[in-house]
């Protein structure tokens, strides 16, 4: 098995998971603007793209899932209830899926969005905007469909994750290396909180610090309708 983060610029991360025993591949959180590059990489390596997987309906960038499904003939997977256009397969909480020698386990983790999920494979947890590394804390819960209460409660799924698992988040500063869950328990402020009130206060301060999401007026409608603006 090989796991790579393939976006060299920007904060949004796309992960390529390859089963080296049979050359099957999955792209986690592909971005519409990078589709041709991603397909070229798949072809160059002689891989078969089996799955495009979205961790949630993004408000900050347009998903590449539905177009990859159309061009590569792969399945576009999201959690049940996801409203993103073109999803061909819905997975449920705790469902497992085999891709050659790689087993995916899906964990519903609502809060940032109602359809947020984490994706676990041995040694790695792909968290989307549910959890970031270190000071990033978690994704914000003031966007459409967000819920502070659900996000706080969903953090309990981490209790069942091996503490040496790498946290592969949906956004990090360019060049930032992923860290294990144990490290995050010591350095991520959210994982040190003991009450919902602490979490709520931290989230509200983040909303003020970050301001509005500039892409939301374009990305969210595109993800819901599948109509990409010119």
148 lies in a domain? yes
First-residue to last-residue Cα distance in the chain: 38
Domain range holding 13?
Answer: 2-222
Q: pTM here? A: 0.97
| Tokens (6 digits) for 204 | 């509200």
Q: What pLDDT shows up at residue 173?
A: 86
Asked if residue 228 is part of any domain, the answer here is no
| CATH number for the domain that contains residue 14 | 3.60.15.10
Q: Is 159 exposed, middle or buried (0-12, 13-18, 19+ CB in 10 A)?
A: exposed
* 85 within a domain of the structure (yes/no): yes
Task: Report the pLDDT value the prediction gives residue 174, as an integer from 0 to 100.
Answer: 85
Q: Is 11 part of a structural domain of the chain?
A: yes
Does the residue 227 lie in any domain? no
What 28-31 contacts at long range (C-beta under 8 Å, 24+ apart), as own/partner pairs, is: 28/53, 28/55, 28/119, 28/126, 28/168, 29/53, 29/54, 29/55, 29/58, 29/63, 29/126, 29/128, 29/170, 30/63, 30/64, 30/65, 30/68, 31/7, 31/61, 31/62, 31/63, 31/64
Q: What is the pLDDT of residue 10?
A: 87
DSSP 66-90: HHHHHHH--EEEEETT---TT--EE
**Order of strands across the sheet that contains 89-91:** 2-5, 15-19, 24-28, 48-53, 75-79, 89-91
Under a CB-based contact definition with an 8 Å cutoff, are residues 86 and 53 in contact?
no
pLDDT along the chain (230 residues), means of 10: 93 96 97 97 98 97 97 98 97 98 98 98 98 97 97 98 98 91 98 98 97 94 92
Give how many domains the chain has, as a whole number. Answer: 1
> 229 lies in a domain?
no
């Amino acid at each position: 098995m090989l796991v790579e983060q393939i976006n060299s610029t920007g904060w949004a991360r796309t992960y390529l998971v390859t089963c080296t025993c049979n050359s099957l591949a999955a792209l986690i959180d592909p971005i519409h603007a990078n589709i041709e590059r991603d397909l070229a990489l798949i072809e160059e390596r002689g891989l078969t793209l089996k799955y495009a997987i979205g961790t949630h309906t993004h408000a900050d960038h347009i998903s590449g899932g539905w177009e990859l499904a159309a061009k590569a003939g792969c399945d576009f997977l999201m959690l049940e209830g996801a409203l993103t256009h073109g999803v061909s397969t819905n997975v449920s909480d705790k469902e497992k899926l085999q891709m050659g020698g790689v087993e995916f386990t899906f964990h519903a983790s609502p809060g940032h969005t109602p359809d947020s999920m984490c994706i676990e494979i041995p040694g790695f947890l792909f968290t989307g905007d549910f959890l970031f590394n270190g000071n990033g804390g978690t994704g914000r819960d003031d966007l459409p469909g967000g819920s502070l209460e659900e996000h706080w409660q969903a953090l309990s799924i981490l209790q069942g994750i091996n503490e040496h698992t790498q946290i592969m988040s949906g956004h990090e500063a360019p060049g930032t290396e992923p860290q294990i869950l144990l490290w995050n328990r010591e350095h991520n402020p959210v994982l040190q909180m003991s009450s919902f009130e602490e979490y709520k206060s931290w989230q509200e301060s983040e909303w003020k610090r970050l301001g509005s999401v500039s892409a939301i007026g374009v990305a969210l409608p595109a993800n819901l309708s599948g109509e990409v603006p010119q």
